[in-house]
Structure 1
Amino acid sequence: MTRRRNRDDEVLTVAMKVFYEKGYLAASLQDVAAAVGIKKGSLYYYMTSKEEMLFRIFQQAHDESTAIMDEVDALGLPVQDKLREYVRRLIVWYLANRERANLYFTEWHHLTGDYAETVRGHRRLFESYVRKMILTAHEQGLTKADMDVKVMSFFVLSAVTSVPTWYRPGGSWSPDVVASQTANLACTAVFGEIPATR
């Protein structure tokens, strides 16, 4: 069973790279099988379809991103510091997993049926987590009185999720710098100033 799970992980990792490089629609099971080094028919021992591969790649991303939420919740930070720390950690993860993050934000709409509904639920959870923090800050009087929580939530989410699409490794900005700067900018948008670092 352990060997099977390890092989599953290998197939998913290779599929992720193939989907990222070719695009999900253009990539084929034969492309994945060739990259893994097995026959196409052998893929069905691990996955039932190309769509299942994509879904399981997204499921892994969801599991890891919810773990970040749990870790940040456990810190018990004030909402200003909580938002900043969550954005910072999330972007660090995005930039360490650029292929997976890019696929998640650009290819998820190719899923159908239960796969699509499950991923929509994941996305709603992600969006509501950020929105609840901004709503809490608004209710505590930490934002401008006329701020629209929904608009601000989408603004912050758009800024955060765009990072893995434009960031290029090996440049003058390290992932940690990009994560910290983006977190500061998100907090400036919400609170009007950069919260003090604890």
Structure 2
Amino acid sequence: MSAGDTAWVLISAALVLLMTVPGLALFYGGMVRAKSTLNMMMMSFGAIFVVGIIWVVFGYSVAFGPALDSGSFIGDPSAYLGLKGLLNSSALALNGAYYPIPATAFIAFQAMFAVITVALISGAIADRARYGTWLVFAAIWVTIVYLPVARAVFYFGDQEANGGGFIATKIKALDFAGGTAVHINAGA
């Protein structure tokens, strides 16, 4: 384990979290009429809670778990259900390689990308949606849109390169900052 690498990943995750709350919440809250300010700010907070729950329960597994079959574009949702087997692991084993950071640091870092992507969408529905409706939409959207795209961009497959994402394995594109998984996805 590398303490420096772990610290860098955790600081990066914290900075992405700060982009969501308070950054995006205050930005979107200031762009709407006074009567919608609280609703807009709560949409950013709601994204953290909804995506956080989905990410822990099955989201990480769909995005980074082993493929359901050889042609699958999603991971097995039950592989890491509730992050089983990942919380006690000492090093991140992903794509057939071991990385000098704990699996939990990588899980948190990728979760923040999922959160900011969903929170970015809330700006497009300013003054147009109720908070409860937004939470339902966010849960459905992150499940059917974000998770498969995140897998296509960030997951390179196992040691034999089985089940890797199309963008990662076929195009061989490296998306370190989430240009595809976050910004293209949020605009979709």
The answer to which structure has the higher helix fraction is 1
State the TM-score, normalized to the length of structure 1. Answer: 0.32
Larger radius of gyration: 1
TM-score if structure 2 supplies the norm length?
0.33
